[in-house]
Structure 1
């Protein structure tokens, strides 16, 4: 079974197949086995800790991540929303995208329909119309950055698309999972990681 580098389960607390995240590996490629029950000392830092986010920076990162979760996947199951959040966090630590959450979410937002996440550049006004889903998106964002969530089936995926989209980049990808309407991938050239 694939085990992402540096990840240690700290309990489930989420949908089936969800592990708690203790850290994200940096750079392409590498693997390590997670411990069954990590001790508090020596546990890998959370994404927020690795990014050295002060409280105001953490709040901003959580908001950007929640916006992406909500506007990209609010119609999905909680597991599907976690997967979208995981892709964004994976990108932050991949070395190929901006190394902050907001920069990754809104990369190329000025390019109509040519950005990283469609909601950011589709010229549709982003308004929260489903308060319960917004609350859930904020909770997922906080838990993801706090290192509490990780889907082993999604692993270190850095890309996804909805089933009705047929992007040309898929040829260069290794499919990791499909959850709801989204299929999750990682570039083959980046290794198994």
Structure 2
């Protein structure tokens, strides 16, 4: 009889624990569904769309869940840079490409503390950092500089740290300068910092995930020096490490200068 009472007590305890768990609410999940989004669409799907586009630097408006013309043009810019086509309509392929490009972003419900801007919707990943906009990367970076947003500067710092940590400081500045040089040539490269960095196969650190490492103060300083006009690469738009480069294509580029382990090249 005592065993029966103990068994019933254990079952009762488990049920109580389940009740407490469900009362606390389910864990947050992404709001992106399979719904096709276009001008006039509204709701959490659009809220997430705007936040993800803002995470990449394409959308700068208010995250309000209303698919207006600002959202439309941001979608077109993203599609053009990542997919080679621009419709302004968020279909399944666009959604998949956007999710793949914003792995460091996490959904926060509309109205949550700090969710009124794209930077607030950026959440830590890979041990407390994200590819664009982690709080640590934003520290000591101005809100704007050289026409770039703090999110742009932070994303550049992630790349500099991931691609050139351990290199001479001059080489770190040169990596940042390459991004800026590409930005000056929209006929050959995407016309936003995020578009340049997340362009397929553009940077090794994006492919292997090292872009998610938290940049240090030196990487941020290198970015700011490049933004302020220092270009040790002398106008380069490419660079590579000859010890690890496997593509014959990169060796065909005219070499400009070697700094540390990197050779900097022109188009």
* TM-score normalized with structure 1 length: 0.57
Counterpart Cα distance in 2 of 1:139 and 1:166: 31
- How many residue pairs get aligned? The number is 122
Whose strand proportion is higher, 1 or 2? 1
Cα contact 1:66–1:138 (8 A) shared by 2: yes
Instruction: Identify if the C-alpha distance between structure 1 residues 73 and 148 changes in structure 2 by more than 3 Å, giving closer, same or farther.
Output: same
Q: Does 1:134 align with 2:225?
A: no
Whose helix proportion is higher, 1 or 2? 2
Pairwise CA RMSD: 2.1
Counterpart Cα distance in 2 of 1:124 and 1:85: 16
Query: Which protein shows a greater Rg?
Result: 2
If asked which structure has higher relative contact order (CA below 8 Å, sep 6+), I would say 1
Cα contact 1:60–1:102 (8 A) shared by 2: no
Question: Any stretches of 5+ residues in structure 1 without a counterpart?
Answer: 1-46, 109-114, 188-193
Within-5 A mapping of 1:1-193: 48-49=145-146, 52-53=147-148, 58-95=149-186, 96-108=188-200, 115-123=201-209, 126-128=212-214, 134-145=216-227, 147-151=228-232, 154-164=233-243, 165-187=245-267
* TM-score normalized with structure 2 length: 0.42
Question: Any stretches of 5+ residues in structure 2 without a counterpart?
Answer: 1-143
Counterpart Cα distance in 2 of 1:67 and 1:127: 7
Offset from partner CA, 1:106-160 (integer Å, 9 cap, x none): 212xxxxxx10111112457333xxxx6111112212322x24222xx2111111
